[in-house]
Structure 1
Amino acid sequence: MLQKMSGDFYASVFLLLFSVGMFLATLNINTLSILTVGVGSDFVPMLVSIAIFGFSIALLMKSWIKDRRRNQEQESQVAAASEWSSGVKKFVSINAVYTTCLILLYVLLLPVLGFIISSSLYLVLQTILLTEKGKQNILLFIPFAFIGSITIYALFRFAFNLMLPVGLLG
């Protein structure tokens, strides 16, 4: 019998392939030979790709065990799906589509608006999307988004000495 696999399984396979591609891409990053730090510009992307690979392996194993257990339970008992669970699945899939659109919009606006404005806008919109309808407090989301974006910008700019896109503020 063909087993039904969850979205986590497919996501972990995608992330495995993505991390391998990202690691291979980091091998082509040029590093400056005048730096004596010992860590080049390829270090962080390589570290991130290794972390993504490790986490996706863990997710793959977890989802495989979970899917196997779930499939065994479904074979032993057949239960009708409730209207509530189908509504939750629709809600989750719609949020996934909106999140993907927000990420694409963020990537497109990053060079134009700069890191601080586009990151703050993304964080506010993503928080609104993921918060329950009755508990959305935009006046609370906006300051946290700006403070977080400014903090990350300052960390990269002054602690790591890396430039992020300035955009309209430049």
Structure 2
Amino acid sequence: MIRVNKDIVASAFLILFSAVMYAASNNIMKLTVSKVGADFAPKLVAIGIFILSVFYLINSIKQLKGSNGGETGELEQEDDGDQKEKKKISPLSVFATVGLLVLYVALLPIIGFLITTVVYLFAQMYLLADKKERKIPIFLVTSVVTSVVVYFIFKSIFFLMLPAGILG
């Protein structure tokens, strides 16, 4: 029950934060005549935070109503079981993730967005996946499709160039 109340407070805070962030992004000076200016990304992030926070709030309220309906014993038992099953984050995976990010940023201008992003996403998914859950074909397809879609969205819709690198 305490966890659910914290979730409600957190989601309400994030909703308020996203509204303030959206309002503050209106003060960013537009330096271009195009529809996509410097205020676009902060507004997009604020809208994303708002939508996810509303879902978080709705889910927290549903859990609160469900725990008051006489199912508290079952929920408490499930919580105890979940705590035992939680896996600790190894320091090695944290350092490997930071290393991958540094390598990604360093190689991005040299190799280019498409190749570097595919390799980074694949390596990150492989690193973070449980050894029993590593599905290399799915990781590869996800990495390639995500990188290509993001590249073409930035190039065709936003008219922004990402580093081409060795692809020219």
For the superposition of Structure 1 and Structure 2, which TM-score range results when normalised by the shorter chain? 0.5 to 0.7
- Of residues 83, 88, 92, the one that matches 1:86 is 83
- Of residues 106, 109, 120, the one that matches 1:112 is 106
Q: How does 1:18-167 map to 2 (within 5 A)?
A: 18-20=17-19, 22-33=21-32, 35=33, 37-70=34-67, 73=70, 75=72, 80=77, 84-88=81-85, 90-91=86-87, 94=89, 102=97, 108-114=102-108, 115-128=113-126, 131=129, 133-164=131-162, 166=163
User: Structure 1 length normalisation: TM-score?
Assistant: 0.61
Q: CA deviation at 1:60?
A: 1.1
User: Structure 2 length normalisation: TM-score?
Assistant: 0.62
Given that 1:109 and 1:118 are in contact with CA atoms closer than 8 Å, whether structure 2 keeps it comes out as: no
Distance 1:127 1:73, change over 3 A: farther
Given that 1:127 and 1:141 are in contact with CA atoms closer than 8 Å, whether structure 2 keeps it comes out as: yes
- Tell me the alpha carbon deviations over residues 28-48 of structure 1, each in whole angstroms, 9 at most, x when there is no partner: 433125x2x445342343133
Q: Indicate the percent of aligned positions where both proteins have the same amino acid.
A: 31
Q: How many residues align?
A: 159
Q: CA deviation at 1:145?
A: 0.9
Given that 1:12 and 1:57 are in contact with CA atoms closer than 8 Å, whether structure 2 keeps it comes out as: yes
Q: Distance in 2 between matches of 1:63 and 1:116?
A: 39
Q: Distance in 1 between matches of 2:140 and 2:74?
A: 48
Q: CA deviation at 1:133?
A: 3.1
Q: Which moved more, 1:75-84 or 1:60-69?
A: 75-84
- In the alignment, structure 2 segments of 5+ residues that lack a partner are none
Letter in 2 for 1:148: T
Cα RMSD (Å) of the superposition?
Answer: 4.1
Q: Distance in 2 between matches of 1:142 and 1:108?
A: 21
- In the alignment, structure 1 segments of 5+ residues that lack a partner are none
